[in-house]
Structure 1
Amino acid sequence: MNYIILANPVADWLIALAAMVAVTIGLDAFKSIVARRLGAGGARTEAGTHTLLHDIAAATLRSTKLVVLGFVGLYVGASLLTLPAKADLFIGRFAITALLIQVALWGDTGLRTWLRVTRAQRSSEDPDRVTSSAAITFLVRVALWAIVALMVLDNLGVNITTLVASLGIGGIAIALAVQSILGDLFASLSIVLDKPFVVGDFIIVDKMLGTVEKIGLKTTRVRSLGGEQIVFSNNDLLKSRIQNLRRMASRRVVFGFGVSHRTPEPLLRALPALLEEIVRAQPQVRFDRAHLSGLAAPSFNYEVVYYVDNTDYTIYMDIQQEIYLRIVALLQAQDVALALPVQTVQLTREARPHDSAQAGNDADASLGKAA
């Protein structure tokens, strides 16, 4: 015990080793106990479900690495010894570096847990929030790791002022080289913030239509009615005209038909009221108007306009089908025929040269007989 190793007695080394082990084990045990209590406390909430705060705190504590706790224990044990200045500086810097990395891991785990819980709880009732959360979480994670990386380099003695300036100049060059990618990235942020559509919306872009499955940093993916996945560049997507059918409050329906021109005038005058009665009889429908809209050669044309207060396409088609069937039944009951396309073709025979000569000869013969 009286031996001296690196200017410290063996007893001091043993005490420092015991302190390092005790601090490491103690911190690890404390982490496990608190994380377990947080998980149990979250399970006993009044609503019977885990609260978001408990989930984040428990997951964050569980992400604590034993290696980091070992560096903290090493730092505590080294403080009990008399070491050279360089050794003290080396141990201190590595302990701080380990803590900074652990802080980044805590933040990263907390953000990912928040995003996971948000998706699980709000994906069906609030898809807008899920879309925004994913983009915001990614940006915050990138910023967190960038800041921690700069702090680690500064702690290790690197001149980050020069580094940041160099990164700024290099960033401009990189931005020019990948401007299309950056355009899609900013378009993604625009989609998230402005929300022209969110995950789950049914959209029409030009002649393509489908349900939005994912809004990524570069592309947006849409599942078409045929089953295939359509991938749009975010930048190109925002330049297109987008129809969002999910946000349609009601559907305006316009249809027309023609009746035979033999239909008597009193019945033509009565038809708009009869059509209104048919439309108003349908559920979830608001009648707008019905008029005799045109006097074409083969028919008298009618136009009917109404609104369906339900955006479901199947319900709209069921209502439209019922209206059509009732109109057919009405016309049959009134003995009115639907107008059919009529085309009249008049055939004429064209006179030919030899036919004219023959006609002249016949006329001369007739005159000779008469003389």
Structure 2
Amino acid sequence: MSKSPPANAQEPIFDAAALQSQTHGLIAASTEWLREHWLQILVAFAIGTVIVLVLHALRRVGAKLCDRPHWAAGWGVVLGRTVSRTGNIFIVMLAAKLVVGYAGAPVQVESTVHFLFTIAAVFQAALWARELILGSIEHRTSAANYQGEALLSAMGLIRLLVTFALFAIALVVVLDNLGVNVTGLVAGLGVGGIAIGLAAQGIFADLFAALAIIFDRPFRRGDKVNYDQTSGVIEGIGLKSTRIRAYTGELRIISNRQLLDKEIQNITVRDHIRIGFTIGVAYETPPDLLERVPAILREIVEAEGGTVARAGFETFGASSIDLSLLFDVPGDDWNKAHPMRDRIVVAIMRRFAKEGISIPYPTQTTYTAAPDGRIIMPYPEVQPVHVENSPDR
């Protein structure tokens, strides 16, 4: 009497009989396919060969784009480098995928070609995406004139992060196509990414702020900026911080994240410098002369090469009638603006003295009364005061 296998016996991982049967079936189907479709196979092989040669030619064109001097640091070299990274396995599998249907291949062969093409295409897409992303960053940094060891360190870290992220996604896609349940893997990668992000959130915040500076380009090395209470020249943009040489001489190091959290004034890119004055004239100025004061100010500024934005009356002050003078000096050079401002101040004083226009000090007029009740006027002449029944009389 035969004994049945125990209930807890483990089944073999590989069924040798099933594997042998599938192998014989594939060989038989392939033999039958070669015998009945040999002409289509030859034509498909020729077409595939042409496709491979064309793709190799395109790859060589991409490599030549990288070598041309006028393409240096441009989008052409980014595209050329991306195309030149096309792998031979992807080229062969693409050609096979394109011609396998025409050759009338059996289901086993067609599914195998499809599977291999999927793997090659996924990893090739990840490689292309990496080159495009890194090439774009390098193009931005070269166009903005970012240099130094800090940039090299940042690019190394960015390359590592981009490569890891893209090929992790590619691996998940391939495993999913193989029928593997990737839910746990995706969850594990997500939890690991969150843990790493929380542990190094300060570093990543400064890194992404550096990327924002590279791509948005609010300033570049050598620009003059005003930030919070700091004014100076950008000396370096690093992986974690930016260095600003203050006009007073000291080097100020500011975190990239903090730098982007506040308003930054880039005074290098402005096309003019605006200077303003508030000028008071005495209330005793005759109205006809007072009416000419704005035109006088405009003439003085234009004679020095400035552009008047506003020259007119502002308000009635406590001791004077106040005028507002705003004028622009072309360019962004304070070494030119300061001397022009000084010349305009001196020219205003000379012209006012010539015209008899007074710029008063803050003054007050006091009116007093004599003992008999008469008002003593505030005139410079001495006015005797007569008091009746005075003991001195």
TM-score relative to the length of structure 2 = 0.49
Aligned twin of 1:59: 81
Aligned twin of 1:18: none
Contact 1:39–1:54 (CA<8 Å) still a contact in 2? no
Contact 2:64–2:80 (CA<8 Å) still a contact in 1? no
Aligned twin of 1:313: 333
Give the whole-Å Cα distance in 2 for the aligned partners of 1:70 and 1:50: 27
Residues 47-76 of structure 1: CA deviation (Å, up to 9, x unaligned): x8689775444322433567x68998xx9x
User: What amino acid does structure 1 have at the position aligned with 2:338?
Assistant: M
- 3-state SS of 2:330 partner: coil
How far 1:316 moved relative to its partner?
2.7
Report whether the alignment pairs 1:276 with 2:322.
no
How far 1:324 moved relative to its partner?
2.5
How far 1:308 moved relative to its partner?
0.7
Which has a greater percent of helix? 1
How far 1:312 moved relative to its partner?
1.1
- 3-state SS of 2:187 partner: helix
User: What amino acid does structure 2 have at the position aligned with 1:205?
Assistant: Y
Give the whole-Å Cα distance in 2 for the aligned partners of 1:40 and 1:178: 41
- 3-state SS of 1:288 partner: strand
Aligned twin of 1:350: none
- 3-state SS of 2:128 partner: helix
Contact 2:144–2:214 (CA<8 Å) still a contact in 1? no
Give the whole-Å Cα distance in 1 for the aligned partners of 2:83 and 2:265: 46
Aligned twin of 1:205: 227
- Kindly report which structure 2 residues correspond to 1:1-371, keeping only aligned pairs within 5 A, or say none: 33-38=57-62, 55-64=77-86, 100-117=122-139, 123=144, 143-151=165-173, 159-184=181-206, 197-199=218-220, 202-212=224-234, 218-222=240-244, 224-225=246-247, 230-246=252-268, 251-256=273-278, 265=285, 269=290, 273-289=295-311, 304-308=324-328, 310-314=330-334, 315-330=336-351
Contact 1:204–1:243 (CA<8 Å) still a contact in 2? yes
Alignment gaps of 5+ in structure 2: 1-23, 28-48, 97-111, 146-154, 363-393
Give the whole-Å Cα distance in 1 for the aligned partners of 2:141 and 2:205: 27
TM-score relative to the length of structure 1 = 0.51
Alignment gaps of 5+ in structure 1: 1-6, 9-24, 76-88, 125-133, 342-371
How far 1:221 moved relative to its partner?
4.6
Percent identity of paired positions between Structure 1 and Structure 2: 29
Task: Call closer, same or farther: CA 1:181–1:36 in 2, change over 3 Å.
Answer: closer
Give the whole-Å Cα distance in 1 for the aligned partners of 2:53 and 2:309: 71
Task: Call closer, same or farther: CA 1:167–1:257 in 2, change over 3 Å.
Answer: same
User: What amino acid does structure 1 have at the position aligned with 2:301?
Assistant: V
- 3-state SS of 1:308 partner: strand
Give the whole-Å Cα distance in 1 for the aligned partners of 2:211 and 2:86: 32
Aligned twin of 1:352: none
Residues 19-70 of structure 1: CA deviation (Å, up to 9, x unaligned): xxxxxx99998666434445668999xxx8689775444322433567x689
Give the whole-Å Cα distance in 1 for the aligned partners of 2:302 and 2:75: 53
Aligned twin of 1:15: none
User: For this pair of structures, how many residues does the alignment match?
Assistant: 288
